[in-house]
Amino acid sequence: MSKHHVVIVGAGFGGLAAARGLRRDDVRVTIIDKQNHHLFQPLLYQVATAGLSPAEIAAPIRTIVKDHGNTSVLLDEVCGVDVATRRVRLASGATVEYDSLILATGARHSYFGNDAWEAHAPGIKTLDDAVRVRRSILIAMERAETLRQENIGERMDFLTFVVIGGGPTGVEMAGAISELTRHAAEMDFRHITPKCLRIVLIEAGPRLLATFPEALGEAAQQSLEQLGVEVRLNSRVEQISAGSVTVSGNMLRAATIVWAAGVQASRAAAWLGVTGDRAGRVAVDPDMSVPGCPGVYAVGDTASIARADGRPVPGIAPAAKQQGGYVASVVAARIAGAAPPPPFRYRDHGNLATIGRKRAVADFGRVRLSGFPAWLLWSTSHIYFLVGFRSRVTVGLHWLWSYLTFERGARLITGLADMPDSIAVPQQRAA
């Protein structure tokens, strides 16, 4: 009889933790991902704001698992699961049989039913997304530089940057855009001064960082305002079109609009024929298995599970890692015929968000930090957690260098051919 075959879909934090947990067990493991690289998503906003290069926050999946003797990697896209015959269907036309299936497929941004907004307000979930936003920001500044006084309105549009969503991603993006553009205005451009810039952060709820304690949300808002970011709370986005966003009845013109307002789980629920929650996540049993789908588990942003106190487990990297490792132990116990491990329990190690290059907020339950001490903690912990990345040294050096010199090395506009729709290139009149 052939070995028990564990198929893991998705090589994010959850999927890789599951593969790692099984690397010494007597199983065959196949990781399927539509990208060839694992992505350190918490730093994606740094790529979008030209602080880091794509290769500094990504590593080939094959390299990460090369020492797992029982693991194969398949570059392909899953398009369905046949639960009855235990098969995964792939976009290439192939099918893969499984004994256990771990779905760790993550999330995409959600436009709450307004999918047409995506063309004008891209989100940031993949390297291609981040490079697209970086290009949009840098091109907007180039266009503004060449516009003269007679085009003052159009010029202002290029110098207005709107970020939608006041969670950690939106807060980090708004702070980083402010620093990138202000620094570029001071150093690189002749006709743009920091005073010309306008960065607006829009949040539908009454405060920033809703998942953090209230005091830290306020600290984040103060830090952002010191960086010149206009924070608009209780503001609901009603319409987005090319170069404009309508917020609570008022239209705001901006060439660059970034979406950080909501996420939607991948299509895993549809593959399994189960009903997902509001965010599309699959409700799982306490052992992370999917009810009614024998041998199928979901982890990370794909899964919906509550903590002991009823609050949901958050959709962050440490939670996905813990769940991936936990499912590995469940599968290993089942194969060995051993007693199943106790139900999954989320260990909360705290919550961090950064605001610009020397401020952050951190929540460790009783201990709460903000300002520079939180930033130091944030940067050291992120460098530390780039585990398995050859680039840990590079990122560390790069950040130290950036911090000391405030130069940004990744300020490249690539792929000019397919310019984002949100940038309408104006006619220029030069001397």
Active site residue 172: yes
Residue 53 in contact with its own copies, rule: CB under 8 A: yes
Residue 85 in contact with its own copies, rule: CB under 8 A: no
Amino acid at 29: V
Look-up of token digits 């609009």: 257
Look-up of token digits 């006619």: 427
Count other Cβ atoms within 10 Å, centred on residue 77.
Answer: 12
Residue 409 in contact with its own copies, rule: CB under 8 A: yes
At its nearest, how many Å lie between its own copies and the CB of residue 55? 4
Among 26, 188, 225, 285, indicate the residue that binds its own copies (CB under 8 A): 188
Which SS3 state, helix, strand or coil, does residue 231 take? strand
If we measure between CA atoms, which residue out of 342, 347, 343, 374 comes closest to residue 358?
374
Q: Are strands 367-371 and 95-97 parallel, antiparallel or unpaired?
A: unpaired
List the catalytic residue out of 172, 203, 225, 407.
172
Which range in 208-216, 331-339, 362-370, 423-431 contacts its own copies by CB under 8 A?
423-431
Identify residues 289-318 at the interface with its own copies (CB under 8 A).
Answer: none
Identify residues 94-153 at the interface with its own copies (CB under 8 A).
Answer: 94-97, 127-128, 131, 138-139, 142-143, 145-146
Answer whether 7's CB lies under 8 Å from 101's CB. Answer: yes
Question: How many Å separate Cα 364 from the centre of its chain?
Answer: 22
Count other Cβ atoms within 10 Å, centred on residue 238.
Answer: 13
At its nearest, how many Å lie between its own copies and the CB of residue 59? 8
Which range in 71-79, 223-231, 309-317, 358-366 contacts its own copies by CB under 8 A?
71-79
Pick between residue 36 and residue 241 the one whose CB is nearest to its own copies: 36
Pick between residue 307 and residue 411 the one whose CB is nearest to its own copies: 411
Q: Using CA atoms, how far apart are residues 73 and 260, in angstroms rounded to an integer? A: 31
Pick between residue 327 and residue 410 the one whose CB is nearest to its own copies: 410
If we measure between CA atoms, which residue out of 345, 337, 340, 359 comes closest to residue 309?
345
Q: Using CA atoms, how far apart are residues 415 and 56, in angstroms rounded to an integer? A: 19
Q: Using CA atoms, how far apart are residues 248 and 234, in angstroms rounded to an integer? A: 9
At its nearest, how many Å lie between its own copies and the CB of residue 399? 12
Instruction: Enumerate binding residues for its own copies (CB under 8 A).
Output: 5, 34-37, 53-56, 58-60, 62-63, 66, 72-76, 90, 92-97, 127-128, 131, 138-139, 142-143, 145-146, 184, 187-190, 390-391, 393-394, 397-398, 401, 405, 407, 409-417, 425-431
Catalytic site positions: 172
